[in-house]
Amino acid sequence: MVHTPTKHLLKDIPEKWQLNFQDPSSPIMEQIILLHDYCMFLLIIILTLILWTLNKITTNKTYSRNINENTKLEIIWTILPAIILITIAYPSLKLLYATDETIEPELTIKGVGNQWYWSYEYSDYKNKKVEFASYMIPTEELLIGNNRLLEVDNRLIIPTNTNIRILITSTDVLHSFTIPSLGIKADAIPGRLNQTSFLSSRPGIFYGQCSELCGTNHSFMPIVIEATTLKNYGYFIHSETN
């Protein structure tokens, strides 16, 4: 049984009627939210302009004869969308390459998808390989304050402000390892190792779920990552390797 080193941490979970993203806990997720807000800002301006134009066209019985077959006007509304697309494409490509950037990892963890639970391995330590399975806690065993269908018996413990590489695979069918607050989403494919890197910028408990339809109990294999201080993480590793 893996015991969590801390008890009182901020929990990042979706709320009822939530329309925006969960609070970001990694630099990549912060950039994803900024890009989303930037694109939404442009879309609202464009939508407002189009609605205003349509309203003017439908309500006015007269119109200027210079609008029809106006070459300058056609050039403007051809070039302007191209400029807008470029301003969206540049930060999008920049973020895309940032998410795929290979960073020298300070810690490597292996996550394995199973029907229907996750198992994890810490293999960077010479004394002993730490490995455990993480099952969802049944509803009848939940404590007050626990989240239904999201709590697990063994959380994945990571240190904050540490470059972490996680290797994802599966033993049976397709799964998907997803943590929205950390900006993580990687497919778990049988016979193949996928990898993704992330860094948690603050302590907290971050919830995710399998995002690939993997069978009847697909919705009952949550993922819980607990980011804690390096000191507390050291206590956890020390207790598991001794």
Amino acid identity of residue 145, one-letter, is G
* pTM (2 d.p.): 0.82
Please list the rounded mean pLDDT of every run of 10 residues in the chain (242 residues). Answer: 51 73 90 94 94 86 73 88 93 88 85 94 83 93 88 93 93 94 93 92 92 92 93 85 72
Q: Which of 227, 226, 225, 223 is nearest to 150 (CA)?
A: 223
| 240, two tokens | 């598991």
The domain locations on the chain are 27-57+72-100, 107-241
CA separation, residue 84 to residues 18, 41, 80, 125 (Å): 29, 12, 6, 50
The CATH number for 107-241, chosen from 3.30.420.270, 3.30.450.40, 2.60.40.420, 3.20.20.70, is 2.60.40.420
